[in-house]
Structure 1
Amino acid sequence: MSTLHSALPVRRGLLYVALAATAWGTAGAVAALLFRHSGLGPLALTFWRSLGGAAVLLALRPFTAPRRRNGAGRTARATQAARNGRVAQNGRLGRILLNGLGLTLFQAAYFLAVRHTGLAVATVVTLGAAPVLVALGGRLLMGERLGRAGALAVTGALLGLGVLVLGGAGDTGVQLPGLAWALASAAGYAAITLATRHHARTGVADDPADTTLWSFAICAVCLLPFGLAEGLLPAAGADLPGTALLLGYLATVPTALAYALYFAGAAAIRAATASVIALIEPLSATAIAGAFLGEPLTPATLTGTAVLLLSVTALARAELRSTGQRTGPRAA
């Protein structure tokens, strides 16, 4: 593997991506409650999620901005910035735009898939196709090689997702429009993951909080006209305090916090590893659905969940073994 330019230890990168995926799993339950009680549609909900996430990150910007050093360190930093400022700024704008457009496609297409084919199928198809697209893109664009252990882990993850899809197909059905939207969502996810990884490898990784803030701002701008057409305000008679509370949670934990953790963690580990670890999202969503929403945990669900967990664990261990020489001196 090539040396990474992320300052984050690999162990912490794995943890950050796992925490982000767990938080994402709660977003589906919150969205289900909002669809049920607020009357908001998928595009309007995605708009409010993006706008709220950007607002939270903007409010926290004074605390998350990189600290500047005084004296000689600050002078050297300013001199280097002045020397490469124009080129770096142009590249940074392009990276932020790519992340924002990828995030827009990922989120909007996912909620559209949920509307057309149901939550379970949309989630597992989106996150099942993402590792395949990421592995293919990482191989073709960055020369990444999974190795035998990584390939087996990805195969196991896909088998687990296949069990989940086939096990639920009899109840929810797999509709082609929803499947197409889920694949489009997976493409947006893969683009974000590969871009984050590529920028970290080439030494131009940006501040994760700054990247997330601008990505959500771009997403909100792109979705505003579609949200207006769908209806941005809750339906008459909706529980406004409850809706505001759920939207606030959606904007903070599974949005602002989770994406900042993901962007930071994905820069420290392989792209395919990040995408497979993020499969924790359907696992946490399944657990929440069974425990709090009354959805039954079928044998297919339990089997697929077990295979996914084993695959995620195997791939994480392979990542740590392959980067053991780097993680020792850098571990915090």
Structure 2
Amino acid sequence: MTHVSVRRGLLYVSIAATAWGSGGAAGALLYRAGGLGPVSTSFWRFASGAVMLLLAARLFGLGRPAGLGRIVVTGGAMAVYQTAYFAAIAESGLAVATVITIGATPVLVAAGARLLLGERLGVAGLGAVAVALTGLAMLTLDGGSAAFSVAGTAWSLLSAAGYAGVTLLNRARAGEPYATAMGGFVVGGLCLLPLALAQGLLPRGDLLTSSVIIAYLGAVPTALAYGLFFTGLAAVRATTAAVISLVEPVGAAVIGVFVLGERLTAQSVAGAVLLLAAVALPALDEKRGSADPAATL
């Protein structure tokens, strides 16, 4: 695997998080155009992403993934956190599910990285996580109804745990990122296929529009984003990557304003600013520590 500098790793994770922010909008458009449910949308996302990476592997000669066991665990965890997140939305609503799932992820990653990888969060990292959670709540819960439930919280935490597991695993064992992502999509898609068949696998209505959206969903917020994320994990700490991933809801909010005609209140804008500020803190700390190899491993 080609060496990736800390600067480039931070850039890759940031691009991945921004691309993930467009995934929700693409999924919503697919639901409108093709009438697909959330699990079926996730299946097509994984299937399309795997095809995109297979084509890229043929064109650019990408390497082989690092072990079948790692692929199975990565793909299974992907399927778990995608499905659990949608279940959390059904129980608690989008706003609360997003806050708990995305908010719990950096906390779980930080704890796991300290115990399993020996990474130290530090005062700056703790401050960044606290500011990020505050900004996330301000952005996501503004104007929405908070419908907390035990089941919804449990599903959200399961989703966060699955995402944290994928992050820690691929930080601990660097491999060929795009090939590993492709294998993970295949395994995740196979896990979701039975549920997708029960929900209704094929899109209805405008098939051309649905096909274009599926292609975008597989190419940008899936194949490109996960490949870049796994590549970036080889250079930056797991907790830093998890905090930077909080850019995702900011990107989704921007898309909502300019593409879907939504409006942001002053509280939402303030929350987005806090999130971006929180993301900058661990990124700057990562760059300062990159001169000492022990600081990033």
TM-score by length of 1: 0.83
Contact kept, 8 Å, 2:56 with 2:62, in 1: the verdict is: no
**1:196 CA drift (Å):** 1.0
Mapped to 1, the partners of 2:287 and 2:172 lie a distance apart of: 20
Asked if 1:164 is matched to 2:139, the reply is yes
Q: Which runs of 5+ in 2 are unaligned?
A: none
Which amino acid is 1:267 matched to? A
Mapped to 1, the partners of 2:36 and 2:75 lie a distance apart of: 23
2:22 to 21, 26, 33: 26
Which amino acid is 2:290 matched to? T
Change over 3 Å in CA distance of 1:320–1:22 after alignment to 2: same
Which amino acid is 1:146 matched to? L
Larger deviation, residues 44-53 vs 152-161 = 152-161
Contact kept, 8 Å, 2:98 with 2:140, in 1: the verdict is: no
**1:287 CA drift (Å):** 0.8
**1:143 CA drift (Å):** 1.9
Contact kept, 8 Å, 1:125 with 1:165, in 2: the verdict is: no
Match of 2:274 in 1: 307
Change over 3 Å in CA distance of 1:178–1:317 after alignment to 2: same
Mapped to 2, the partners of 1:17 and 1:316 lie a distance apart of: 10
Deviations 1:15-73 (A, max 9, x none): 000001101100101111122231111111111111111111111112343579xxxxx
Asked if 1:322 is matched to 2:297, the reply is no
Deviations 1:263-314 (A, max 9, x none): 1001210000000001110000011112221222122211211111000011
Match of 1:84 in 2: none
Specify the SS of the correspondent of 1:139.
helix
Which amino acid is 1:112 matched to? A
Match of 2:183 in 1: 214
Contact kept, 8 Å, 2:63 with 2:176, in 1: the verdict is: no
Match of 1:59 in 2: 55
Mapped to 1, the partners of 2:90 and 2:219 lie a distance apart of: 24
Match of 2:120 in 1: 145
Match of 1:255 in 2: 222
Match of 1:49 in 2: 45
Asked if 1:180 is matched to 2:151, the reply is no
Contact kept, 8 Å, 1:121 with 1:168, in 2: the verdict is: no
Contact kept, 8 Å, 1:273 with 1:319, in 2: the verdict is: yes
Mapped to 1, the partners of 2:143 and 2:79 lie a distance apart of: 27
Mapped to 2, the partners of 1:143 and 1:6 lie a distance apart of: 24
Which amino acid is 2:14 matched to? A
CA RMSD of aligned residues (A): 2.2
**1:100 CA drift (Å):** 1.0
Mapped to 2, the partners of 1:114 and 1:45 lie a distance apart of: 15
Mapped to 1, the partners of 2:58 and 2:77 lie a distance apart of: 26
Equivalent residue pairs, number: 294
Match of 2:86 in 1: 111
Specify the SS of the correspondent of 1:305.
helix
Mapped to 1, the partners of 2:176 and 2:88 lie a distance apart of: 31
Contact kept, 8 Å, 1:25 with 1:281, in 2: the verdict is: yes
Mapped to 2, the partners of 1:210 and 1:113 lie a distance apart of: 30
Mapped to 2, the partners of 1:323 and 1:273 lie a distance apart of: 13
Match of 2:195 in 1: 226
Contact kept, 8 Å, 1:105 with 1:185, in 2: the verdict is: yes
Contact kept, 8 Å, 1:50 with 1:216, in 2: the verdict is: yes
Mapped to 1, the partners of 2:61 and 2:71 lie a distance apart of: 16
Mapped to 1, the partners of 2:172 and 2:85 lie a distance apart of: 24
TM-score by length of 2: 0.92
**1:114 CA drift (Å):** 3.4
Mapped to 1, the partners of 2:93 and 2:79 lie a distance apart of: 20
Mapped to 1, the partners of 2:206 and 2:195 lie a distance apart of: 24
Mapped to 2, the partners of 1:279 and 1:212 lie a distance apart of: 20
Q: Which runs of 5+ in 1 are unaligned?
A: 69-88, 200-204, 327-332
**1:173 CA drift (Å):** 3.6
